[in-house]
Amino acid sequence: MNTYSITVSNLTKKFSFSARNASSGWLKNLFSPETKEIVAVNDISFSIKHGERIAFIGPNGAGKSTTIKMLTGILFPTSGKVNILGFDPTKDRKKLAYQIGTVFGQRSQLLPNLPLTDSLEFFGVMYDMPEKEIKRRIAELVELFNLGSFITQPVRKLSLGQRMRAEVAASLIHKPKIIFLDEPTIGLDVVAKKSLRDLLLKINKDENTTIFLTSHDVGDIESLCDRTIVINHGTIIKDLPTQDLAKTFVYEKYINLVALNNFNNFPELPEGIRYSSKDKNKITVVVDINKINLQESLKKLLDLFEVEDIDVYNADLETVIRHIYERD
Amino acid sequence: MKEIRLTTKILKTLVKDRIQYPDRLFVDTIGIIARCGILLILYWYVFKLNNGVINGTTFLFAAWSIFFYFSFSVLRLRDISREIMKDVQTGNVEVLFSKPISYLSYRMWWQVGSGIYSFVVITLLTVVALIFIIGLPPTMTIGIFIPTLILTFLCGAILSLFLYTIVGLLSFWIEDINPVFWIVDKTIMILGGSYLPIAFFPEFMFKIALWSPFGASQFVTHTVYETWQTNWYQLLGIQLFWIVLLGLVVYFMFEKAKQKVSVNGG
């Protein structure tokens, strides 16, 4: 049996569009416009096993959404091969749709004027499930996602957190083998985010659903995904276990220095140490331990500043990701 | 089987949606009373000024012909153009493309479902009101009237959906389809007999109404006239011809459009 849910080989997507040339006349621009081309995804390859939880991250315009849309059969690749559960999304879009679920955080698939039950039943029919099975699955999802308190309310009256839970539940009505989530926690408060992440983890554990997620939220990546693929300028620049991602910049240590009184001046720092932030009450410096070891850097910093407290820590995941984006 | 089940579900869901919001039915009813009612009163007056007959037609025939146009328009099939444009502009098309459905047939049935409740209620009420107020022309009581009316109505609905779908699909290539929509919509309104009953058309315009897909989509307005009894099979043939031709255009346009999808963020 194939152990991979998703196999992508040399996938490329180019968008071409007409660009107006200011030096040409309107007639030329109308009938023979210049064509420009953008390479949104450039020759990427990766494989994902059944039940894996993948964060597919990158800065805005990196090619994340384009990739997700090619994997789900919405966009046609310019070149390369995609295999999702044995299907080619461009040729077998409908067959594949029965096996996958999609959540696009910024768009709703629910029927806004009707109670949530109607949307769930509607999608059950859309996925050609028998009536009994639809009812059983709705009951299951209502309990799992705690939808009971608002299932009879029209969808447009739900809070954003409730709606997102409902969106994910609707995407899971047909027990998909893979769920693609495009920024599912966008705009949610911390409680709603945690609740959604917990639910996705439970679905992954109970039903072995493969999770493929794009997000700008580090919390989603840290708490939900066991593997992270970083894409920038359409190219994969990192593909590693999420816990190893934090170690990427392990040679950098952060030191917080809390002022005994106030810091009045900010002297030049020894080589290997640089300011990350400067404030009268607190300074944060970054130490490159390839250039200066921690003990020596602490000694030098204490010679320079009068401090009340010191805190040494590794870069958090958000900083690591920012570094990766900036360095690329 | 799956398609029939989904279609039934779409229709049921949308009828439920409309029943839940009766204010929409009220607005639709007021709309048709205002548009169709005022036009009928004006034509009644014009016929009266001309001793009851214009171009060999009486008010009774013209009134029913105009009513059929407005009744058909309550289905709001034209709105499919804007729905497709909205899907493309907002990127909602990606949500529907990720489902195990045919996007176009889903959109078409959705459009039918959106208007069917208002259509049934308003048509039934208005037919009863018109029978009481102006009566029935003899052409509407003969045997072939109801079956051919249903046939031409169904063909007209399919043709309208195809015409407006073609306009909607243009939004995959051009940003704003509104100017094209306006031209097509007004052509259908004029050739369909919404402003002027088709019985009043000069010969060249009648020919355009007869042979163009715009006029053919509104052949339901021809059914009340005596000529229908002898011409109905020819007119249905014209409708079928356009259905096949425009169906192919829709199919090939959509095949191309799918490859043009370029939604926000991808």
pLDDT in tens, A223-266: 899 999 999 889 998 898 988 887 776 678 889 999 888 888 88
What pLDDT was estimated at residue B265? 46
Q: Label residue A108 left, alpha or beta by phi (over 0 means left) and psi (-120 to 50 means alpha).
A: beta
Query: What total number of domains does chain B contain?
Result: 1
Extract long-range pairs of B139-146: CB within 8 Å, 24+ residues apart. Answer: B139/B61, B139/B223, B139/B224, B139/B225, B139/B226, B139/B228, B139/B229, B140/B64, B140/B223, B140/B224, B142/B229, B144/B229, B144/B232, B145/B223, B145/B228
pLDDT, tens digit, 9 for 90 and up, residues B147-165: 999 999 999 999 999 999 9
Q: What is the mean pLDDT of residues A155-175?
A: 90
* Averaged confidence pLDDT in chain B: 90
Among B123, B160, B146, B121, CA closest to B243: B160
* Whether residue A23 has pLDDT greater than 70: yes
Residue B264, in any domain of the structure: no
Q: Is B259 on the interface with A (CB under 8 A)?
A: yes
Q: Which residues of B91-114 are buried (b: 16+ CB within 10 A; e: fewer)?
A: bbbbbbbbbbbebbebbbbbbbbb
The letter for the amino acid at B139 is T
Tell me which of B93 and A35 has the higher pLDDT.
Answer: B93
Q: If you ran DSSP here, which 8-state letter would residue A39 be given?
A: E
Assess if residue B263 is contained within a domain. Answer: no
Domain boundaries, position B190: 2-258
Residue A113: what pLDDT? 86
* Assigned domain for B20 exists: yes
- For chain A, list the domains and their CATH numbers: 4-245 (3.40.50.300), 250-327 (3.30.70)
Q: Which residues face B53 on adjacent strands?
A: B58
Q: What is the mean pLDDT of residues A123-148?
A: 92
Angle at B197 between CA B39 and CA B225, to 5 degrees: 125
pLDDT at B264 over 70: no
CB B175 within 8 A of CB B154: no
**Residue of chain B with shortest Cα separation from A125:** B6
B16, B94, B100 ranked by CB distance to A126: nearest: B100
Closest CA to A175 of A127, A142, A126, A104: A127
How far apart (Å, rounded) are the C-alpha atoms in residues A195 and A171? Answer: 17
Q: Categorize the per-residue pLDDT at A101 as very low, low, confident or very high, splitting at 50, 70 and 90.
A: very high
Q: What is the pLDDT of residue A249?
A: 66
CA distance A262 to A305: 10
* Closest CB to A74 among B5, B16, B98: B98
A 66-105 residues with CB < 8 A to B: 66-69, 72-76, 93-95, 97-98, 100, 102, 104
What does the pLDDT read at residue B253? 95
Q: Rounded mean pLDDT of chain A?
A: 88
**Do residue B21 and residue A113 have CB atoms under 8 angstroms apart?**
yes
- Report the percentage of chain A scoring pLDDT > 70: 95
- pTM, entire model: 0.82
Nearest to A113 among B5, B17, B258 (CB): B17
CA–CA dist B14, B27 (Å, integer): 17
